[in-house]
Structure 1
Amino acid sequence: MTMVQARPMTTIHGCSGGAVLARAFVSHRTFLSIFPSPTPAPALFAPASMATPKRAGSFNHYGRDQQNKKHQPGHDRHAKAQKQHFVYNANPKPAVLSAKDMQTGLVALLDRFVADETTAGADKDALHHAHELRRLLCARNNTTSSKTKRELDEKRPDKSITVVIPDYVERKVRAAKDLPPLPPITEPHLHEAVFTHRSAIFDPSIPGSVLGEDLSLDYERLELLGDAYLELIASRALYNRFPHVDVPELCKWRERLVENATLSKFSEAYGFPDRLKHRAVWDKTSKQYHKVVADIVEAYIAGIVLSDPENGFATAEEWMTELWAPQLLSFREKIIENPQARHELERLVLGRGVKLLTREEKPMTYDSDNVQQFHIGIYLTGWGYQDEWLGSGEGQNKVQAGVAAAADALKRDGPVLKDAMRQKAELRAVQLREKEEKDKAEGGAKQQVASGIAETSGSMKDKGAEEVTQKKRKTDGEAASPDKNKKKYKKEKETAQQKRKASTDNDRS
């Protein structure tokens, strides 16, 4: 039996001691392959009483109180009793590892694998699965460390103050909770440009800073294109979903969809400002900062479309429509109670020399949504009145305001309107009565003329009937058959011959 000194375990053939131990937990054969020595390998596990080999400088406590120990009685005897030696075994038995040891070793090997494979050309799928396997293994509750941690929490609970999530982080998480998934930009250079401000590549305050010829390195050109796409998407959403709303109202709603306040909320919710590369200093409460934050959304839309020319626009349109859905549902068109109010009022009061005039009662104003408002009044001239006010209305244009003013006049039904309607009704009744009398008089004269014409036409009709009869008889005679005419002619001839014969006989006698 040969006595050898155990070699240090700091580094063996380029492998760290931790990696060697990890491999040892997995397989005894792997541990044996570490030692290239032809001599038999030492036993895997030394006796529990074995003293740790001396490694100079390895432990800070080594050598502490050594002088005192030399003078302590019985110290050398106790040290000699604890000395143990490695015993070589030519046929070592494979170590039987428990499930816990196998899990611990596998986690260590996964850590080593991830550290070695994390390079520029690493296999991302392999690294992902390695991370996922390690997470699942560490999530088990049957490990020694988990049990120890639970025991520690029971015996020595942590009494430190729980850290509260900052308000701004909580707001961002809450805002992004109900947002639709962010469509990806498949082209890396476009994705890089979307989140690059011009100040990151060009700063006039830095000497030698040059903008360069390539203007596509930041988001400004993408923002120009994305702004046009955004206007088109908003217009299509409103045009297709609100067919009965007037154009001024649709323009007002579109401005609310694409304004910087709306887009900046989306940008903040998705964390776009945190991803923006820049060297500028902004006041986060200023309009300039909110414009920059909103411009990132427009640039992102352009990036989606350009990275996928075939389906990019449809993807961006679906994404923005889903973001705008709460606003689109909140839009309510302004209902006009009586769109034919102007025509109805004209029918009630207009007549010869009577006019309904509209005029602005005060200059145009803007409402809370920065939409123009016209203020129109309607006035009556006629029926004994001159520029008499009937009602007032407001609208986004003069036509709408005029209709609203007429509806207001009908709703008020003031004394002026009632008097005008009464006068028109009386005049109408007189006109109807006169027309009836005139029609009656004209009807009697027409009846006399009609009777005379009837008598004349009757006599002329009788005379004409006789002439027609004669003409008919003549026509019928001419239309007789040729045989009848021949017989008549033969009879007349015979009669003439008889008369001649009789006259001849008389002469002879």
Structure 2
Amino acid sequence: MSKRSYTELISKDVASVSQILEHAEGLLRAAKALKEELKTFHNTPEPNDQIISLLERHNKKISSAAQLLSQDETNVANQHNQHKSESHKIRKLDSSNKTSGNAPTALCIPPPAFLTRWTPEDIPGSSLPSLPSVLDPVLEQAALTHSGMTTKPTDMSYERLEWIGDAYIYLMSTSFIYQTFQNLGAGRCSQLRERLIKNETLSNYTMQYGINKRTRFPAEFNLHGRIGGSQASQNAKKKVLGDVFEAYVAAIILGDPEGLSRASPWLKSLWSTMLAHEIQSEFKSQASLVHDPSSRGEGNDDDQTAAKQVLNPKVLLSKTIGTKGVKISYSDIGEPKKDKHSGKLPWYTVGVFYDGLGETNLKLGVGGALSKKEAGAIAARQALENKGLIGRLLKKKDEVVKSAQLAESGKEEYDNWS
């Protein structure tokens, strides 16, 4: 295939009426399939995990079908108003079309169905998730060409694609974090996002996938630099490699109508490896739909269900083993260290300790995080997971409660006798 400039980007033909009907049928089929499966939950009083999973699965198909119809609408409107179809890709005007008045159609915004929260199942094994291909060869060539390898402004390079890819990456990473860590403060969410989108991360992806080996760079970016000339600094190389990754993401998304639905799950899986610890910790805490210990073995099923509640780990620990004469405290262990991911932010280590009922400064658990509050919550969660220790302290609590009950009962009998 011969080399083409941006002025030669291929515009897609406007969908025929038969294609529009086919897309409409696809949307109806997807909605009908969802309706049929939901019927099986007709008598379910409120949404549960099965229903949520069902909606997530079907909404992907529904959103994809709706997106095709939306694209049909845009194409038909452009044909009617301009007498020619418009591509959903990026255009770069040159001398042959500067006065044509043509403009690219609106970019695809990721629908919510593509941006669901992370779960531990999203974390891949040891290998990277497969790199999606760019289905449009023109956009692929543009994404893999440094501007220093072009001879005129209208020649293809990654620069405009990188600008769009940066926006998509920012939006998708923000949405994944927001939906997964629902109780995390905005500042901490920003820290997590920075780990995903910083140049170091993106440039590493470029090299891990071998995208850099396919990209045309000026000689100064090579291992030994330009012969008789300069050599790009490591920071400059890192920046360019990160930009190339962003451009490649944009090329995937803009290269075909299904590009966004292919890019989103790939990035979701890829990023999950960087936040694997945080994702797993979040789901451990959310999974603590825990029975109120005071209701152990008592009450009917409705009472037991009502006793289930999502509690802050510190509150739950206190509720579980706390009683009269017991003090549960949290204190720093050692000096703050540096976060291994950022290398700049302080990393706090906090321990939770138990005093009372014959125990002195008994360490129950230890947690580490970027804030003391979060580290304390992790320490409390670790303590709750130590079933043997919690069981022993629960026995002590039960003995105190029973002694108090007997004392109260004896006092009542004495009062009644006197």
Alignment TM class, shorter chain as reference: 0.3 to 0.5
Higher RCO (CA < 8 A, seq sep 6+): 2
Q: What is the TM-score with the length of structure 1 in the denominator?
A: 0.36
